[in-house]
Amino acid sequence: MKCKRKIIFLSAISIVLVMLFICLGINSNNWQYILSRRVPTVIAMILTGGTIAFSSMIFQTITNNRILTPNVLGLDFLYMFIQTAVVFLLGSTNINITNNNINFVISVSLMVIFSIVLFKVLFKRESNNIFFLLLVGLIFGTLFQSLSSFMQMLIDPNEFAIVQGKMFASFNNINTEILLISIVIVLLIIVYAYDYMKILDVLSLGREQAINLGVDYDKVTQKMLIIISILVSVSTALVGPITFLGLLVVNLAREFINTYKHRYLIIASVLISIIALIGGQLVIERVINFNTTLSVIINFVGGVYFIYLLLKENRT
């Protein structure tokens, strides 16, 4: 019952923040314009926060590590490599950059294909485990980052400004067509992953214990990794990379809910993520007056929290 009450409390805060974000400054003269701008932004923040929190919670469960997030697979750097390569090879006026729908489909498709091929190749051998996958992901991420930096140094400064706009998450000027595609993909993933909630509870015990309890560990892990790659690809292609959001909200959810049941942990982490994004955007718009971006603040706070977790684990 305590978990349910905490979930209701987080839901109430989320609803209040959503209503504040949508309704502040609205009147009879501008309500149509404001709703047309703010409602898609709220949906994008909810969708992004939900996918990042969901994927990070599953990833920490299968790795059995509270300081790891899906970013170590190198998908964020692959996204930047794709954006930079298109501008470098085809130019900033190419339809693959200017058309958001085509850019979204290409980015998500390549990121998912890369993930599936990587998982299939690495899991062919029984001796390979999840930590070997993380090592390979880090290597590929470094490779993609280096190639992106090299191409960014060679392209025209005006075209570099186009690439630079993709480096930071932005909730302004959300493309509603991309938003609809993202919603459909995420809903399908949620329906598919719902049956695995109890299995995730078992996976949190560790590989050996899960196998002893009858779980096909490698098969389930591959499926979860593909789900993670799709969710990360969608969130990154939708608004851009937000490095530390998953680490921050998932660990806060674990501390706040204090349970092993993923049906509560995932809901709590999603709600905390929504609170962080919408609350942060309210502060940026109403207090800081757009002098910085939301992703910069989240990465700063998340980075500090990451250092705290490292020191805490070291003391333990």
Q: Tell me: the pLDDT tens digits for 211-265?
A: 888 888 878 888 888 888 888 888 877 777 777 788 888 888 888 888 888 888 8
Residue 170: pLDDT above 70?
no
Closest residue by Cα to residue 248 from 111, 6, 9, 60 = 60
pLDDT averaged over the chain?
80
Compute the distance between CA of residue 216 and CA of residue 6 in angstroms, rounded to an integer.
33
Measured CA to CA, the distance from residue 275 to residue 45 in angstroms comes to 10
Contact in structure between 47 and 182 (CB atoms under 8 Å) = yes
Tokens 């590929």 belong to 140
Q: For 21-95, where are the E strands, in sequence order? A: none
Q: What is the pTM (predicted TM-score) of this model? A: 0.84
Break the chain into its structural domains and give their ranges: 2-315
Rounded Cα distance between 233 and 26, Å, is: 34
Taking CA atoms, 70 is separated from 76, 158, 245, in Å, by 9, 32, 11
The string of pLDDT tens digits covering residues 100-159 is 777 778 888 888 888 888 777 766 655 556 677 778 888 888 888 898 888 888 887 777
| Fold annotation for 2-315 | ABC transporter involved in vitamin B12 uptake, BtuC (1.10.3470)
Q: Of 114, 103, 248, nearest to 166 (Cα)? A: 103
Cα(85)–Cα(99) distance, integer angstroms: 16
Kindly report the number of other CB atoms within 10 A of residue 158's CB atom.
8
Whether 184 shows a pLDDT value over 80: the answer reads yes
